[in-house]
Amino acid sequence: MNSDRLKALTDGVIAVIITIMVLEMKPPSGHDSAALAALLPQFLSYVLSFVYVAIYWNNHHHFFTLAPKVGGGGVMWANFHLLFWLSLIPLATAWMGEHGFQPWPMAVYGAVLLACSLAWMVMQAAIIRAQGAHSALRQAIGADWKGKLSPPLYLLGIGLSFAIPWAAAAAYALVALWWLVPDRRVRHVAARLEDDQAG
């Protein structure tokens, strides 16, 4: 099974997720600087979610460069499972943005991030299983510290939501920053693989 349409659908869903998050930010009803300032919590929520969605797209892009032929069966459903949780990010973002640093919206936002990270690990495992013993992806991700440590960090953020909500926001932002640092190994292997195919 070829993964071209799987990638095209994923690109489409992620493109709409990004732009739908902006739709949830309603234009202010007033037209002065105070009306604009009141939009700030929603804007910051949007920035954080945009970065998360971009990170997922980026990783998806690298992973499927390492697995160009794996598009059927289990991988396809694992990908839909991931898209399901990603598709809830706009809703969680809007709820968090509209209520500032309130415990429940902060916790639900963290829970959606947690579910996305677990769905990611499931998809990773499905690809590696489909590739078999010499999986290029398995070699590329190595010990996968980022993947393994993110879920506990989201759990920490969910717990913090009910005690010090702003600390939960800080936890989510820090995990995003950590992921922004490029994953040298995956990209290195991906680049080599592309050279092999081209040469």
Residue 91, interface with a copy of itself (CB under 8 A)?
A: yes
Cα 119 to Cα 18, 22, 52, 85: the distances in Å are: 19, 25, 14, 8
Provide, rounded to whole angstroms, the least separation between the CB of residue 74 and a copy of itself.
9
Among 44, 58, 147, 155, binds a copy of itself (CB under 8 A): 58
Cα 54 to Cα 19, 88, 138, 177: the distances in Å are: 12, 15, 23, 12
Residue 54, interface with a copy of itself (CB under 8 A)?
A: yes
**Which one, 34 or 133, has the nearer CB to a copy of itself?**
34
Residues near a copy of itself (CB under 8 A) are: 1-2, 5-9, 11-20, 22-25, 27-28, 31-33, 35-36, 47, 50, 54, 57-58, 61, 65, 72-73, 76-77, 80, 83-84, 87-88, 90-91, 94-95, 98-99, 102-105, 108, 180, 182, 187, 190-191, 194
